[in-house]
Amino acid sequence: MGEVMISEENLKKLYINGCDIKKNEPLKYYTSFRIGGSVPLALFPKTLKTFSETLFKLKEYNIPYKILGQGTNLIVSDSDLKFNVLCTKYLNNLKIEKKDNRSLVIEVESGMSLSTLSFLISGWGYSGLEFACGIPGTVGGGIYMNAGAYGGEMKEVVLEVESYDLKNNTIRILKKEDMKFGYRKSIFQEGNLVILSAKILVEKDNQEFIYNKIKEYSTRRWEKQPIDMPSAGSIFKRPKPDFYVGTTIEELGLKGYAIGDAQISTKHAGFIINRGNASFEDVISLIEHVKKIVKESCGVSLEVEPQIWR
Ligand SMILES: Cc1cc2nc3c(=O)[nH]c(=O)nc-3n(C[C@H](O)[C@H](O)[C@H](O)COP(=O)(O)OP(=O)(O)OC[C@H]3O[C@@H](n4cnc5c(N)ncnc54)[C@H](O)[C@@H]3O)c2cc1C
């Protein structure tokens, strides 16, 4: 990759084309952990067309960048960053298509809040996305991570994704079977495809049944997770189906253990929270400490779930 900064002339072109631009922007304001140094440029395309065109231009200018959704699955270095971000926050449109008497296909842009979408669809009496009612972040981030909860996963509801192929500068439609979905995995993690929009299938169901599921999942989340504190969600992936990371960390006496302001949540030991001014190093040191103790005590190697940007 070349220079991090785009020339003033080219920035003006991006702006005129529908991309908001902020220079020297601190990412701590864009991450749920409230940690993150400044990027030279944060770019905010206002339409899908501008998004694609900006992706094309960034490649042409040879500019390093990352795609930013709502930053709820990120651990970002608090040093000055040597890449820019292209943020999907304005890409919120959706179209509804009736598939048959029972089902709807929702075509949604990648920046839409997944949890808002879940509540909207459930409110119309359609089932399928209840599992996502409390998953923070965007539809794009949810597909990238194959986000899931309470037995549901994105791969079950996503029919199709419209993506931008960075290798060939083309728009590519991917079907479910093309997306290599696995536990917190998708083809998008390979780095060549950016999610522009997705088609999601939902089915008509009993309104009260749907409402009760949402109520149950939200209650469980509120009672068990520190959702009112800055965090990046579960810090480790589940290494095998019957291995509960939070319970293990708790049994090893690490609940509440802290390095600086990064602390193993006292509510759910699978979460690290920022109880004030935690630094990137505090979080990384705490992760390493937990990994070491779990490896020594249980012989299990834990893998970090959020993406680490440095
Ligand atoms: C309190 C809390 C609870 C959580 N609970 C859950 C849970 O129950 N289940 C679960 O699975 N996760 C959970 N998470 C993690 C997180 O919410 C999900 O992973 C979410 O899907 C991330 O979406 P995002 O928009 O915030 O992505 P970001 O954090 O912004 O980005 C994550 C990755 O996705 C990439 N990305 C984002 N958008 C696109 C795009 N359009 N195209 C290509 N790449 C893209 C980014 O480049 C980055 O690599 C939780 C997090 C928190 C803070």
236-272 pLDDT, tens per residue?
A: 999 999 999 999 999 999 999 999 999 999 999 999 9
pLDDT tens sequence across 188-236: 999 999 999 999 999 999 999 999 999 999 999 999 999 999 999 999 9
Distance from C-alpha of 179 to C-alpha of 155, rounded to nearest angstrom: 9
For atom 27 of ligand 1, the residue with the nearest CA is: 141
Q: Percentage of the chain surpassing pLDDT 70?
A: 99
pLDDT at 2 over 60: no
CATH code: domain 226-309 is 3.90.78.10
Sorted by where each begins, the domain ranges of the chain are 8-87, 94-210, 226-309
Is the distance from the beta carbon of residue 308 to the nearest atom of ligand 1 less than 6 Å?
no
For the domain 8-87, what is the CATH code? Answer: 3.30.43.10
**Pairwise CA distance, residues 162 & 159, whole Å:** 10
Is the CB of 85 within 6 Å of ligand 1?
A: no
* Residue written as token pair 């290599």: 180
165, 171 contact by CB (below 8 A):
yes
Predicted confidence (pLDDT) at residue 1 exceeds the cutoff of 80: no
Q: How do residues 116-174 score in pLDDT, each as one tens digit?
A: 999 999 999 999 999 999 999 999 999 999 999 999 999 999 999 999 999 999 999 99
pLDDT of 63 reads: 95
The pLDDT assigned to 186 comes to: 98
Q: Is 142 in the pocket of ligand 1 (CB under 6 A)?
A: yes
Percentage of the chain modeled with pLDDT above 90: 97
Using a 6 Å cutoff on CB, does residue 298 contact ligand 1?
Answer: no
Catalytic residue status for 238: no
- Among this protein's residues, is 234 annotated catalytic? yes
Catalytic residue flag (residue 184): yes
**Catalytic hit among 163, 234, 250, 265:** 234
Pick the CATH number of 94-210 from 3.30.465.10, 3.40.50.300, 3.40.50.720, 3.30.420.40: 3.30.465.10
Which of 67, 73, 218, 228 maximizes ligand 1 atoms within 8 Å of its Cβ, making it the mutation to test the pocket? 73
Please determine whether the domains at 8-87 and 94-210 fall in the same fold group of CATH.
no
Pairwise CA distance, residues 146 & 154, whole Å:
5
Cα 5 from Cα 151, distance rounded (Å): 44
The verdict on the CB of residue 231 being under 6 Å from ligand 1 is yes
- 4 pLDDT tier (thresholds 50, 70, 90): confident
- How far does residue 82's CA lie from ligand 1's centre (Å)? 22
Segment 288-306 shows an average pLDDT of 97
Does the Cβ of 181 fall within 6 Å of ligand 1? no
What confidence score (pLDDT) does residue 3 get?
Answer: 81
47 vs 24: CA distance, rounded Å: 23
Asked whether residue 37 carries a pLDDT value surpassing 80, the answer given is: yes
Nearest C-alpha neighbor of 41 from the set 26, 57, 62, 59: 26
β-strand pairing of 126-127 with 148-149: unpaired
Gap from CA of 141 to ligand 1 centroid (Å): 4
